Amino acid sequence: MRLSLAIASLVVLIGASLAYSSLRGTREAGVFNVDPQTPYFHYSPSGAIRGRVLAIHGLNSNKRLLNVLSYALAEGGLEVFTIDLPGHGESSAPFNALQARDTVAQVLDQLGPETLVLGHSLGGAILLDVTGDRHVNSMVLFSPAPVPIDKILADRVLLFEGEFDPGRIRAFVPTIQGAAQGNVEYHDVAWTGHTGSLLRPDVIEQVTTWLGGTPLSNNTRRRLRLLLLMLIAALTLGIALLGKPAKPSRAGDRGRLANGNRTMVIYVAVTAISAVVAAWIPFTSWLHLFATDYLLAYLFLVGLILSLTAPRLPFVRRTALVGLGSALYVIAVPGLLVVSEFTQMMMADGRWWRFPVIAALSFPLFWADEIWIRTMQPRWNAETMGIVTRLLLAAAVVTAVLTIHREASFLVLLTAVLLIFWIALWVAGGIIHRRTADPLAAALFSSLVQGWVFAAVFVTT
Q: What is the pLDDT of residues 365-376, one digit of tens each?
A: 999 999 889 988
User: Is residue 441 within 8 Å of residue 432, measured between CB atoms?
Assistant: yes
pLDDT at 55: 98
pLDDT at 254: 46
pLDDT at 261: 78
pLDDT at 249: 53
Domain-wise residue ranges, the chain: 24-218, 245-457
Q: Is the pLDDT of residue 201 over 50?
A: yes
| Among 301, 350, 359, residue whose Cα is nearest residue 328 | 359
Q: Is the pLDDT of residue 33 over 90?
A: yes
pLDDT band at 24 (very low <50, low <70, confident <90, very high): confident
pLDDT at 311: 67
pTM listed for this prediction = 0.94
At residue 163, φ and ψ (nearest 5 deg) are -60, -30
Distances (CA, A) of 69 to 221, 270, 281, 335: 11, 42, 41, 20
d(CA 381, CA 376): 7
Predicted confidence (pLDDT) per residue in 91-108, tens digit: 999 999 999 999 999 999
Q: What topology is assigned to 24-218 in CATH?
A: Rossmann fold (3.40.50)
Q: Is the pLDDT of residue 256 over 70?
A: no
Q: What is the average pLDDT score of the chain?
A: 93
Q: Is the pLDDT of residue 312 over 80?
A: no
Q: Is the pLDDT of residue 314 over 90?
A: no
The residue ranking higher by pLDDT, 81 or 378, is: 81
At residue 54, φ and ψ (nearest 5 deg) are -105, 120
pLDDT at 379: 87
pLDDT at 377: 84
**354-369 and 411-436 helices, crossing angle to 10°:** 60
pLDDT at 251: 41
Average pLDDT over residues 45-52: 93
